[in-house]
Amino acid sequence: MAREVGRCPRDVLAGCAPTATTEPNSLAGTEGLGGQPRKDGRKVPYEQITQLPKGVRNNLPKHAQEIYKEAFNSAEDQYEEEDRAHRVAWSAVEQKYEKNEKGNWVQKDD
């Protein structure tokens, strides 16, 4: 599976989903990810925010990265679909963060 531009909802992060053929930390398997085992023996895809796709790490504040990581891991565990897990993770981030006029991600005012 090759990357496709526009897979992630933000243009700045297009193509951020790691795949088996393009990145060593593939979500297609759990080899080399170092995640904690789940009940079924599989490891969580992202144990640390340093393992997140580069586009997420380089554009989101640390707290938003934590939200993304937790939401992605939960959704991937529940649905076992990488693309769906990324959409869920972005939705979770967008509940608390938005882009400002400069294009930077900032926490929303409650």
pLDDT digits (tens, 9 = 90+) for 30-67: 333 445 566 677 788 999 999 999 999 999 999 999 99
Instruction: Please give the Cα distance from 51 to 54 (Å, whole number).
Output: 8
Residue 103, domain member (yes or no)? yes
Distances, alpha carbon 7 to alpha carbons 11, 17, 19, 56, in Å: 9, 7, 12, 13
Instruction: Please give the Cα distance from 95 to 46 (Å, whole number).
Output: 20
Residue 6, domain member (yes or no)? no
Residue 26, domain member (yes or no)? yes
Range of the domain at 52: 11-107
Q: What is the CATH number of the domain that holds 90?
A: 1.10.1740.70
Q: Would you state the pLDDT for residue 43?
A: 83
Residue 74, domain member (yes or no)? yes
Residue 16, domain member (yes or no)? yes
Angle between helices 62-79 and 82-96 in degrees, nearest 10: 140
